[in-house]
Amino acid sequence: MTNLSASNLQEMQMAKDLSHAKRGIGWGILSGALWGLDGVILGIAGAMAPFTGGASLLAAPLASACLHDGFAGFWLFLYNLFTGRWREYMRVLRTKPGRFVLLGALFGGPIGMSGYLLGINLAGASYALAITAMYPAVGAIVAFFVLKEKIQPRVWVGIALCIIGAITVSYVPPEGNFPYFYLGLALSLLACIGWGTEGVFSAYGMDMVDPPIAIGIREATSFVVYFVAVLPLVAGLVIFFQAFAAVAVIYVALAGLAGGLSYLAWYRTINMTGVARGMAFNITYALWGVFFGWLLTDLQITPTLIVGALIIFIGTVLVTANPKELLKLRNN
């Protein structure tokens, strides 16, 4: 009778763990969908005043990036305020893990986010999203050189597929006014470098700091650096303040909300399914970006965009985890 009860308890626990992991998959898909939506909304905002007209090639996207990270940081602060975490901000900033988060933010914000927004502006949101989904592959390469981490054959295959996918995506430019399409793709690759490097430096900090606080610090740091150091260099402060009197600011605020929620959903996924699965589900944003681009804009979906995005997705999954392990939900 005792053995039977123990067996029943074990089965009940396994069923509970499996249900927990399945919910985690839902959060992972949601994180990818929200980040894909974030990029498309930013693309829509970028086509509105004051980000158009006489705005320079650099000033408008960088002002948009500053606003985006500012709003994301604001929404995350409200979340941390209502969940009782807000006092952690100052405490964490005085710790070594907190400083690693700050260092990662410099790569992920002014470098990664700038490349991302410039890529959206010059190449289109769906194309930039597809290219930036390769950031885990870039992170693996950075870790190889900086941390001397070995790259397994599976990861090399994934990196090769990401390169093939990027070439496929860029083979046929989109219809419309994109005279700097290939420059936009190159800047999207810069976003990969920024985000991939951010992942290497932030990994330590994220392990030691409550994720909502770490993300909030990351977004706030990015906003401050943009506002104090980047926008004055490109004459972007005028556009920044003009945006508050325009409809476009509503779109950027919504994009910041989607981005902040995407981060929260991503870390909940990691907690429920593991890091590898969480990242694999998050990078579905490459596909969600194509979907939302088709749904909300006049994007003309080309076969090369679909095939290239799928190849990049498969390649990135190979980089982040063994596909067989992704399916073993019981082993968390």
Per-residue tokens: 295: 């749904």
The phi and psi torsions of 327 (rounded to 5 degrees) equal -85, -10
- Higher-confidence position of 139 and 182: 182
Nearest Cα neighbor of 198 from 218, 228, 223, 224 is 218
pLDDT for residue 65 is more than 50: yes
* 152 located within any domain: yes
pLDDT score for 267: 82
pLDDT score for 278: 76
pLDDT for residue 206 is more than 90: no
Q: pLDDT tier at 332 (50, 70, 90 boundaries)?
A: very low
Rounded mean pLDDT, 240-249: 96
Q: Tell me how far apart the alpha carbons of residues 3 and 110 are, in angstroms, rounded to a whole number.
A: 59
* 331 located within any domain: no
Radius of gyration of the chain (CA): 20
Peptide bond between residue 179 and the one before it cis (omega within 30 degrees of 0): no
Report the number of distinct structural domains present in the chain: 1
Q: pLDDT tier at 146 (50, 70, 90 boundaries)?
A: confident
Q: pLDDT tier at 10 (50, 70, 90 boundaries)?
A: low
* 293 located within any domain: yes
The phi and psi torsions of 83 (rounded to 5 degrees) equal -100, 5
First to last CA, the chain: 29
Nearest Cα neighbor of 233 from 63, 17, 25 is 63
* 143 located within any domain: yes
- Higher-confidence position of 16 and 304: 304
Which segments of the chain does DSSP mark as H helices, in order?
Answer: 2-46, 59-82, 88-93, 96-106, 114-123, 125-132, 135-146, 153-171, 181-208, 211-225, 237-243, 248-273, 275-282, 285-296, 303-320, 323-326
Rounded mean pLDDT, 77-106: 91
Rounded mean pLDDT, 216-232: 95
pLDDT for residue 98 is more than 80: yes
pLDDT score for 226: 97
Alpha-carbon distances, residue 118 vs 90, 190, 261, 266 (angstroms):
32, 10, 22, 24
* 27 located within any domain: no
* 160 located within any domain: yes
Q: Tell me how far apart the alpha carbons of residues 178 and 119 are, in angstroms, rounded to a whole number.
A: 11
pLDDT score for 113: 94
* 29 located within any domain: no
Q: Tell me how far apart the alpha carbons of residues 65 and 118 are, in angstroms, rounded to a whole number.
A: 9
Tell me how far the alpha carbon of residue 125 is from its chain's centroid. 13
Alpha-carbon distances, residue 240 vs 66, 191, 226 (angstroms):
8, 21, 11
* 208 located within any domain: yes
Q: pLDDT tier at 134 (50, 70, 90 boundaries)?
A: very high
Tell me how far the alpha carbon of residue 287 is from its chain's centroid. 13
User: Which residue type, as a one-letter code, is found at position 24?
Assistant: G
290-317: per-residue pLDDT in tens?
999 999 998 888 899 999 999 999 999 8
pLDDT score for 281: 83
pLDDT score for 39: 95
Annotate 178-210 with DSSP letters as a single string: -TTHHHHHHHHHHHHHHHHHHHHHHHHHHHHS-
- Higher-confidence position of 332 and 257: 257
Range of 225's domain?
35-326
Percent of the chain with pLDDT over 70: 88
pLDDT score for 145: 85
Average pLDDT, the chain: 87
